[in-house]
């Protein structure tokens, strides 16, 4: 298998694509990363549709999408276009099409771009199991071509572009039976439609591979780009994590999926899908796009490093198990969260630790590891050693001064369960480093943290550690290029089994949320990392602790709270998605590890929530279908009763826990 999907996994360089025009807006080529969103108004409601389009345009949205589910919706597009023209709007419009080729042919006359979903444009999804012979499969493709080509021909005549947008949740039964519910199935679904379009010379195409799980989404885009390289296709990419949810969780998922792909040089236009008013999507998208629109490729391009992963599937980077005062890391143990606390006195430290533990307990989280900066003052060191010895949580120290350690320093470091040192700045030579590490064996773990510019100097160090019998060692970096530099570190360590600590240091909470999601979140989806440590000096330790666990939740590595899959709403939505999601969260937010999907309609419903335990899906005006997994358990439940019926369904499935019992525990 070809593992190449971009210029290099170890440095930034944007993928070269053709330019595709959406009205006057160019996507791909030398254009900046474009920002788009989707209105939630009913497309038959001219006034509200125009109002939302203008609101998005005013705050910097460059392309606006509308859902066009039926003929009456398509019939109203001329009215929307006329009113926008009267008001001086120039933003290009995109018609979002599912199920209805005839509606697509009507819509294409009034928009600059059409989005089709290859999973349901000419195919059905009934979760049917069937084996297709090659001849039968070919016949199906010929049938699809007959349905799809009239739209392609009209787009070509009018100069209208097209997004071929695969959704993980709505792969056709035909694709599912041949390729499974996989990134490969997503890619092949899009390629089939691309080949049909190319058969008549149409190439004004943009492609997307969306999923609610950032890990699946990332793998699918990488695999698509690998296939594009093989097939010499250069179509631009539209990036998005679908059904990302709302609030902080929705922003973290979006930053992990969209941001880490942009960091790999992939992506030409983005949409952040939040279960909030569409205008709230634009600042998030702008923050992500601006970071990369101004990014300059480094002079050192990482070519000296070679791929060490399978980038299309998740496999955890193996490391040996290490015991840190009865907290096990590495091997099959969960990725741990380390919290940094200040130390000015024993009483202040004990108070901070108690507050942190109480906060964590209220959220069903654990305080697993704590570290503090190693004091220079000898008296304060003695106080810290005493506090660490009596702490119920393993306490480590971070040596942060940029000078050599002397004998009294190394002696004071011996008692701690975990010590973070710089092997190049704190020790005069390799022999002194080895002597120190030998004294630490059996006492705890030593983390060797190096500056990013010294990564190359690590080559040969694992061999030295092995020859000296040093085992209780982990590696970390101090870097502002977290994703690429840690991949270099992982490559250097790929023939060894030393744990890796993902270290990120940020100036404020917002920067931490986005940069940690892109860098640390991206690495977690690669299977890299045994401990994560985020430092934000201006933030409360409780906020930083929760961010660490939120990253693990978003990457599906540790579910420490209820997981919600909720769509961003659109004109197809059959109830108020924001208030409904808020109500369901209020009732079920204490169910640790339970996955609940809240979908406004059936388009992405059963499939996109395929890995959810329960689903709440709009079925018609005032009606809701309730699912257990992929199975409809209750049909057409009155909207007023649906919340309670969902709770009853969770209880009957044995996955309900009362809030009181959790608090007592």
Residue ranges of the annotated binding site are: 567, 570, 601, 608
- Closest of 234, 190, 235 to residue 210, by C-alpha: 190
Question: In 3D, which of 333, 354, 352, 332 has the Cα closest to residue 344?
Answer: 352
Please give the radius of gyration of the chain, using alpha carbons only, rounded to the nearest integer: 27
Q: Give the residue among 57, 190, 186, 196 at the shortest CA–CA distance from 116.
A: 190
Q: To which residue do tokens 């008001």 refer?
A: 87
3-state secondary structure of 287: helix
Query: Environment class of residue 389 by beta-carbon count within 10 Å: exposed (0-12), middle (13-18) or buried (19+)?
Result: exposed
What is the CB neighbour count within 10 angstroms for residue 428?
A: 9
Distance CA 313, CA 43 (A): 39
Question: Cα–chain-centroid distance for residue 81?
Answer: 35
Q: For residue 247, count CB atoms less than 10 angstroms from its CB and return exposed for 0-12, middle for 13-18, buried for 19 or more.
A: middle
Running DSSP on this structure, what letter comes out for residue 523? H
Which of helix, strand or coil describes residue 248? Answer: helix
**Which residues neighbour 362 within 8 Å (Cβ) at sequence distance 6 or greater?**
none
Q: Are 185 and 175 in contact (CB under 8 A)?
A: yes
Nearest C-alpha neighbor of 261 from the set 299, 205, 210, 203? 210
The encoded tokens of residue 208 equal 């997307």
Q: Residue 308 CA to chain centroid, in angstroms? A: 21
- First and final C-alpha spacing in the chain: 49
Q: Which residues are annotated as a binding site for [4Fe-4S] cluster?
A: 567, 570, 601, 608
Dist. CA 37–CA 270, nearest whole Å: 8
User: Structure tokens of 142?
Assistant: 């010929």
φ and ψ at 576, to 5 degrees? -70, 105
The C-alpha atoms of residue 656 and residue 592 are separated, in whole angstroms, by: 10
CA distances from 215 to 336, 489, 548, 556 (A): 19, 21, 17, 8
Closest CA to 210 of 565, 600, 646, 575: 565
- Cβ(249)–Cβ(562) under 8 Å? no
Q: What share of the chain is helix, strand, coil (3-state, %, to 5)?
A: 40, 20, 40
CA distances from 342 to 401, 536, 582 (A): 15, 12, 36
What is the rounded distance in angstroms from the CA atom of residue 269 to the CA atom of residue 365? 37
Which helix (H) or strand (E) segment holds residue 325: the answer is none
Tell me the sheet residues that pair with 313.
none
277: its two tokens: 């008013």
**How distant, in Å, are the alpha carbons of 249, 397, 511, 514, 547 from that of 505?**
20, 16, 10, 12, 13
477: its two tokens: 């970096």
Query: What residues contact 185, with CB distance under 8 A and at least 6 apart?
Result: 171, 175, 176, 178, 179
């Amino acid at each position: 298998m070809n593992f190449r999907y971009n210029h290099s996994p170890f440095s930034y360089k944007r993928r070269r694509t053709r330019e595709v025009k959406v009205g006057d807006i160019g996507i791909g080529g030398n254009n900046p990363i474009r920002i788009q969103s989707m209105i939630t108004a009913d497309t038959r409601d001219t006034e509200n549709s125009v109002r939302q389009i203008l609101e998005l345009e005013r705050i910097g949205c460059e392309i606006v999408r509308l859902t066009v589910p039926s003929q009456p919706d398509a019939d109203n597009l001329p009215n929307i276009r006329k009113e926008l023209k009267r008001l001086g709007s120039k933003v290009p419009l995109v018609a979002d099409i599912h199920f209805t080729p005839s509606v697509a042919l009507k819509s294409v006359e009034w928009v600059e771009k059409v989005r089709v979903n290859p999973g349901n444009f000419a195919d059905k999804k009934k979760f049917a199991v069937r084996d297709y012979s090659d001849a039968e499969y070919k016949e199906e493709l010929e049938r699809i071509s007959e349905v799809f080509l009239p739209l392609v021909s009209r787009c070509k005549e009018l100069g209208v572009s097209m997004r071929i947008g695969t959704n993980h949740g709505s792969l056709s039964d035909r694709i599912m039976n041949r390729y499974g519910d996989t990134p490969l199935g997503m890619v092949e679904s899009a390629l089939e439609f691309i080949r049909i379009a190319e058969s008549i010379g149409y190439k004004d195409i943009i492609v997307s591979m969306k999923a609610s799980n950032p890990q699946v989404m990332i793998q699918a885009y990488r695999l698509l780009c690998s296939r594009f390289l093989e097939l010499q296709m250069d179509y631009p990419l539209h990036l998005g994590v679908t059904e990302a949810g709302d609030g902080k969780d929705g922003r973290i998922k979006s930053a992990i999926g969209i941001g880490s792909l942009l960091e790999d040089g992939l992506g030409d236009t983005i949409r952040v899908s939040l279960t909030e008013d569409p205008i709230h999507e634009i600042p998030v998208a702008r923050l992500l796009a601006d970071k990369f629109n101004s990014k300059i490729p480094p002079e050192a391009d990482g070519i000296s490093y070679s791929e060490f992963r399978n980038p299309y599937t998740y496999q955890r980077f193996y490391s040996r198990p290490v015991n840190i005062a009865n907290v096990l890391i590495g091997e099959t143990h969960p990725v741990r969260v380390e919290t940094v606390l200040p130390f000015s006195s024993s009483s202040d430290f004990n108070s901070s630790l108690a507050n942190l533990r109480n906060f964590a307990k209220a959220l069903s989280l654990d305080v697993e590891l704590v570290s503090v900066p190693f004091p220079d003052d000898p008296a304060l060191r003695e106080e810290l050693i005493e506090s660490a010895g009596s702490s119920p949580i393993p306490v480590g120290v971070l040596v942060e001064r940029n000078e050599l350690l002397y004998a009294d320093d190394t002696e004071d470091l011996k008692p701690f369960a975990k010590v973070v040192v710089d092997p190049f700045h704190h020790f005069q030579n390799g022999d002194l480093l080895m002597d120190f590490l030998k004294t630490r064996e059996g006492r705890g773990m030593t983390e060797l943290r190096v500056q990013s510019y010294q990564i190359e100097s690590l080559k040969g160090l694992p061999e030295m550690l092995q020859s000296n019998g040093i085992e209780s060692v982990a590696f970390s970096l101090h870097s502002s290029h977290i994703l690429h530099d840690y991949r270099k570190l992982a490559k250097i360590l790929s023939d060894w089994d030393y744990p890796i600590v993902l270290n990120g240091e940020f100036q404020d909470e917002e920067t931490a949320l986005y940069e940690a999601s892109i860098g640390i979140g991206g690495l977690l989806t690669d299977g890299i990392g045994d401990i994560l440590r985020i430092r934000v000096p201006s933030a409360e330790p409780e906020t930083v602790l929760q961010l660490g666990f939120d990253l693990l939740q978003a990457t599906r590595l540790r579910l420490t709270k209820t997981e919600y899959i909720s769509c961003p709403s659109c004109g197809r939505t059959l109830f108020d998605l924001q208030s409904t999601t808020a109500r369901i969260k209020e009732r079920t937010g204490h169910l640790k590890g339970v996955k609940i999907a809240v979908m406004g309609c059936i388009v992405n419903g059963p499939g996109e929530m395929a890995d959810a335990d329960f689903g709440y899906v709009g079925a018609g005006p005032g009606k809701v279908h309730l699912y257990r997994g992929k199975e409809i358990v209750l049909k057409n439940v009155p909207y007023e009763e649906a919340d309670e019926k969902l709770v009853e369904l969770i209880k009957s499935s044995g996955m309900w826990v009362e809030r009181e019992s959790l608090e007592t525990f």
